[in-house]
């Protein structure tokens, strides 16, 4: 599972959704029962996993040959609670989490080419 871009994306998407759920539960304890300690821990963990999700989206969109619109959807899915899992299921259903071999350069390959020609 962790040997592919899709596997890493799935792992981080599920972790992001779980950290969102943990943060929501901690907020219930904070505002419902007056116990704010959980939000400190869950908020820190969610911030870390949220950042990992954003970085993972930016890393995998090029090798998986996502369009810019799909990348924007993936990044937008990190904002609503549990939407990252919904995006992962949607992307799996459309075949966006499979390796698509092509002779065309990837996005990051094009960026590298432009940077080399500028130097």
Write down the pLDDT at residue 102.
Answer: 67
Reported residue count of the chain is: 119
Average pLDDT over residues 27-37: 92
Residue 13: closest CA among 99, 96, 101, 75: 75
Q: Is 91 exposed, middle or buried (0-12, 13-18, 19+ CB in 10 A)?
A: buried
d(CA 51, CA 63): 20
Mean pLDDT value of segment 38-58: 95
CB atoms within 10 A of CB 24: 13
Residue 22 has a pLDDT of 95
């Amino acid at each position: 599972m962790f040997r592919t871009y899709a596997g890493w994306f799935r792992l981080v998407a599920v972790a992001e959704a779980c950290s969102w759920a943990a943060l929501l539960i901690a907020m219930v304890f904070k505002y419902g029962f007056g116990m704010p300690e959980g939000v400190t821990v869950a908020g820190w963990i969610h911030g870390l996993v949220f950042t990992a999700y954003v970085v993972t989206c930016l890393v995998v969109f090029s090798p998986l040959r996502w369009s810019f619109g799909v990348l924007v959807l993936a990044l937008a899915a990190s904002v609503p609670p549990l939407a990252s899992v919904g995006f992962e299921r949607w992307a799996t259903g459309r075949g966006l989490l499979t390796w698509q071999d092509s002779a065309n350069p990837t996005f990051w390959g094009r960026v590298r080419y432009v940077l080399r020609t500028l130097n």
